[in-house]
Amino acid sequence: MSIAYNVLIVDDVSDNIKVAMNILKENNYNFSFALDGKQALDIIKTKPFDLVLLDIMMPLMNGYEVCKTLKQDPKTSDIPVIFLTAKADLDSLSKGFKVGAVDYITKPFYADELISRVSTHIELYRAKKVLQQNNLDLNVKILQSEKRFLSELESNQKEIIYLLTELMEDTSDETGKHIKRVADISKLLATLHESLSDIEVDDIFFAAPLHDIGKITIPYEILHKPGKLSEEEFFAMQAHTTNAHKLLKKSSRRLMKAGDIIAYQHHEKWDGSGYPQGLKQEEIHVYARIVAIADVLDALTHVRVYKQPWNFDAAANYIIERKGTQFDPYLIELFQDNLESFRKIIEEES
């Protein structure tokens, strides 16, 4: 079944419209007609047209004005316009092309010329539409493929992080529950932060488990020493931040980069007295400032080889007292305003 194309013929002389329709009637076109420019603009709003045959010299609104109006409207700007004119001088033709016409046909009409030019421009217009739709479909497929690839890539990063934390459980003093609680506390604190997006909150949640990944490089006897570390041992322990950085900085993946930031900086302090770089205030990445609080809160409230657990209130007071010295003041305000939510994580996941 052939496609019926919609053609609008605009001319203030009705006989010219009848002649054009008689010549073109065998080509399965659906015709509409208008006797002036304003009428044409009203008709063209009623349905999609594949071509406009437009007289130039008309009362009320000439063909140039009609064509210019069509080209300024995104809904009709692509419709091909062929001028119908008894004037074939260069100035008239040049003006027609400048306002957006694709061709012109002189009056009186020559049947073969009219049929050929109308057919050619309709086919070009339809081919352009098909190409645009194919490009749109291709872009959608590309976007879907990219989204699927990024999703798979992110899943792979999460799996790597899980495997690394499993390794950390086996070789250091970190437990799976501690790692999970630090991630949950960090996520809660990040969610409360007014400047962090949902993506950033997720990045912190999935990367937080890597905060102490560098401990896999620390000697077992130091990690599991029941008493206070000597100065030399403490210096060796501090190396877990820089060792993690050496490992994770090689990755260009988003979650791994977040993990690198957290592992490298989570022992920095707001007043600049932390390690390993002595960063202070905003120099410390917000990811690390968040995980620093989560790590201390969980460490204080649970058993370690060198200490017994504190109750939540004592641990919370310890953290709040270090507002502006060890910890970011804004984050401590968020923590202090939502203590019961943090208590719930500590007590329910213990």
Looking at CATH, the fold of the domain delimited by 172-348 is given as Hypothetical protein af1432 (1.10.3210)
Alpha carbons 125 and 132: distance in angstroms, whole number: 11
Domain boundaries, the chain: 5-139, 172-348
Mean pLDDT of 215-244: 86
H or E element in which residue 105 lies = strand 103-106
* The two three-digit tokens of residue 57, written as one number: 């010299």
**171 or 28, higher pLDDT:** 28
Pairwise CA distance, residues 288 & 280, whole Å: 12
Q: What would the mean pLDDT of 112-127 be, rounded to a whole number?
A: 89
Burial class (CB in 10 A: 0-12, 13-18, 19+), 100: middle
Eight-class DSSP state of 274? -
* Contact criterion met (CB below 8 Å) for 350 and 177: yes
Q: Which residues contact 110 (CB under 8 A, 6 or more apart)?
A: none
Q: What's the pLDDT tens digit per position in 30-43?
A: 999 999 999 999 99
100: nearest Cα among 76, 127, 117: 76
The strand pair at 29-34 and 103-106 is best described as unpaired
Tokens 């200490």 belong to residue: 307
Evaluate if residue 277 carries a pLDDT over 90: yes
Residue 1 has pLDDT above 50, yes or no: no
**One fold for 5-139 and 172-348:** no
Peptide bond into 209 cis (omega under 30): no
CATH number of 5-139: 3.40.50.2300
Higher pLDDT, 186 or 155: 186
Between 129 and 23, the higher pLDDT residue: 23
Tokens in use for 115? 């049929």
Assigned token pair, 71: 């080209």
- pLDDT greater than 90 at residue 271: yes
User: What is the average per-residue pLDDT within 224-251?
Assistant: 87
pLDDT given at position 172: 53
Q: Say if CB 54 and CB 61 are below 8 A apart.
A: no
Mean pLDDT, the chain, rounded, equals 86
Q: Could you identify the residue written with the tokens 């060890």?
A: 326
Q: Which two tokens stand for residue 168?
A: 């950390």
Residue 165 has pLDDT above 80, yes or no: no
Which residue's entry shows tokens 């208008």? 34
Cα dihedral 193, 198, 201, 203 sign: negative
Task: Tell me if 64 sits within 8 A of 87, measured CB to CB.
Answer: no
pLDDT, tens digit, for every residue of 47-66?
999 999 999 989 889 999 99
Q: How far apart are CA 134 and CA 132, in angstroms?
A: 5
Residue 203 tokens, joined: 């990045």
- Phi then psi for residue 54, to 5 deg, are -130, 120
- Summarize pLDDT for 127-164 with one digit per residue, the tens: 888 887 777 766 777 677 666 655 655 665 666 666 66
Helix, strand, or coil (residue 55) = strand
Minimum mean pLDDT among 137-141, 192-196, 296-300: which range? Answer: 137-141
- Is residue 249 classed as helix, strand or coil in its secondary structure? coil
Helix (H) or strand (E) holding 348: helix 339-348
Name the burial class of residue 98, with classes exposed (0-12), middle (13-18) and buried (19+) by CB atoms within 10 angstroms of its CB: exposed
For 262-278, what is the mean pLDDT? 95
